[in-house]
Each structure stands twice: as structure tokens, then as C-alpha cells.
Amino acid sequence: MEHFENINRTALVVSHKKPFLDWIKTVDPTTPMIDEKHDSKTVYLFPSDGDGGDWERHLKKHFKEIFEQELGAWFTDPAMWPKDRSWKVFTDWLDFEFQSMVYDTLDDSIEKE
């Protein structure tokens, strides 16, 4: 049996809540939408330290960049983004969960774009 290598990262899985989807419809009602139940998810890699408290601290340190990455994936003009991009709005608009076990199923190295 082949075993995959556990990489030294924790995965943060982010999905859009209804307020995020409503914002998309408000900015451009003609945007093809996926419904809330079939929303695509984004994965961000975090340090793997085994302590959930550290993951939360890392998230709070980087939530603005993550929020802007999610907004920018839909509309690249920051003028279209909500003015309030606080922690509260982030948690109201985005659902997130941490996954501590991340495995690499490939033998070749990871390339960054």
C-alpha cells in the first residue's frame, strides 16, 4: 500500500456565505451565480504547528488579505468591494474551517504561480 506524505501545512478551507453571494448579485446582477449549497471553496495553506490557537492567530493576522483575495476573485476593482472589510464582516461573509492533515499525492515539487 502506498502512503502519501503529510506536508508541513494546515489547510484553511474558505467558502462564501449568503451575504457574500448577495454582494456579488448587487454589484453585477448579470453575473452567473452558483447557489450557496454548491459554492466553490478556496484553500489557503497555513503553518502546521498542531495548536489551533496559533492557526486562529495566523488567520486574524492575514484575514484582510484573504478577504481581498476572495473579493478580487469576483471583481478586480477594489472600488466595487465593500468599504467595511473588518474581522466581523469577514466572519459574516465567509465560512472557514481548518484541516490539520494535508497530504501530497504527487512526487513532484509544488510550483507557485
Q: Is residue 112 part of a domain?
A: no
87-105 b/e with 16+ CB inside 10 Å = b? eebbeebbebeeeeebeee
Q: Quick one: what percent of the chain has pLDDT higher than 90?
A: 54
Domain that holds residue 39: 27-104
Helices (H), the chain: 18-27, 52-72, 87-93
pTM here is 0.84
Average pLDDT, rounded, for the chain: 87
Asked if residue 13 is part of any domain, the answer here is no
Q: Is residue 33 part of a domain?
A: yes
**Which has more pLDDT, 12 or 40?**
12
Number of domains in the chain: 1
C-beta neighbour count of 16 within 10 angstroms? 22
